[in-house]
Structure 1
């Protein structure tokens, strides 16, 4: 029989661990993406403009554009879509799908991950100018500013 007082406690093996990597706040925020690493900005701008004009006409849900719009732009489009829907309702007009013809697209790049675009669009009734600021964030374009005239 062995004496319990002479028993040695079990030893734990030490596992070698690598030093913890330090992460900065920049690693967790939005990462800027260069224009060269993204699809052509003029084609993206035209698609977004078509989508926004369809939302304002009442034939598309604004949620379909949410992934491409920043929070502020999304809120502004929702507010404007609600105003146009109320105006159509007050006049008793239905939401009609109109054909938008793109006349001109002007693109400039003030910074490596930023593109500013102006898109001129016409319908049978009117011509509109839409100004956009696109930023390359997390590997895709994101609309951070939008103005529909």
Structure 2
């Protein structure tokens, strides 16, 4: 039966090659310290990961205007009941998804009570008013015009892993 010291030596790859050496006593062990090279730490707000995996500066993010227009259109269609909320899931945060789900449920119940059907709304999207309150954050208001009324859709986009994601959507 082997002693624990011999067992440790037999498991170590460097000592397997030299089987003729005597066991090393615990007081004779020396450890070789290897310090890793220093890393340069960059601020996370300066660089973001792009869709294709490349890193670029936060000032180089894609223009959020088309996303804002499409989100306003899609949110209006979701509330009208002609688009599935799941289609927006990848573009909105969990809180926004739950808020929209509540609003969609209320609209569907209202249509069921009144006997109305879900019809695709005839809408015209206005130009978004965009502000940049911080790096990687965009706040905008998009006007959605319908024949009977106009609505304002307020959207806050934040960067998550190099892409825009809506953290707040409010339909007024």
**TM-score after normalising by structure 1:** 0.78
State whether residues 73 and 125 of structure 2, in contact with CA within 8 Å, keep that contact through their aligned partners in structure 1.
no
| Correspondence list, 1:135-146, <5 A | 135-146=158-169
Q: Which residue of the other structure, out of 82, 103, 106, is the alignment partner of 2:126?
A: 103
* Aligned residues: CA RMSD: 2.6
Shift of 1:104: 2.9
Segments of 5+ residues of structure 1 without an aligned counterpart are 1-7, 21-31
1:75 to 89, 98, 120: 98
Please tell me whether residue 46 in structure 1 is matched to residue 69 in structure 2: yes
Alignment equivalent of 2:110, drawn from 87, 104, 107: 87
Gaps of 5+ in 2: 1-5, 15-31, 37-46, 49-56
**Are residues 89 and 119 of structure 1, via their aligned partners in 2, closer, same or farther at CA, if it must alter by over 3 Å?**
same
Equivalences, count: 132
Structure possessing the higher radius of gyration over alpha carbons: 2
Q: Calculate the TM-score normalised by the size of structure 2.
A: 0.68
State the alpha-carbon separation in 2 of the partners of residues 45 and 51 from structure 1: 10
